[in-house]
Amino acid sequence: MKQNIHIGQIIKDLLYEKKISKSELARRLGETPQAVNHKLGKASMTTDSLQAIMIATGIKAYEIFNEDLPESSTETIPKQINSDLELQFQLCKKDVERYKVQLEEKERMIQLLMKDRG
């Protein structure tokens, strides 16, 4: 593994290769462009931030650390893809549940306002 890597710069380079702007990354992460710029300007970041970026962009660990894929990768990559998809599915389910709660709250507010008008 490489020593003295600048994770922010590596991610910026990978975003460029994948034609994903920092603004688009910010949108996908639900963060401000300034927050994303700040993260990518640092040499290190939390594993939570790195994982969120990887999920949002499809960047894989071997791309970040510039490691060659092992010969057995034809067996392990489908498992990793399934694992990544399952994680993305779980995150989407959480988002859906959150949106349902927000929608229910808005519907209650509408009902209250309509009741007050009548």
Confidence class for position 117, pLDDT limits 50, 70, 90: confident
In the block, residue with structure tokens 């994680």: 87
The whole-angstrom separation of Cα 51 and Cα 60 is 10
Quick one: average pLDDT of 21-47? Answer: 91
Res 30: pLDDT: 92
Quick one: average pLDDT of 66-71? Answer: 56
> Given a cut of 60, is residue 77 above it in pLDDT?
no
> Given a cut of 60, is residue 71 above it in pLDDT?
no
Neighbour count for residue 25 (Cβ, 10 Å): 23
Res 60: pLDDT: 85
Per the CB < 8 A criterion, the answer to whether 86 and 54 are in contact is no
Q: What residues have CB less than 8 Å from 35, skipping those under 6 apart?
A: 26
Per the CB < 8 A criterion, the answer to whether 51 and 19 are in contact is no
The whole-angstrom separation of Cα 37 and Cα 64 is 18
The better pLDDT of the pair 27, 80 is held by: 27
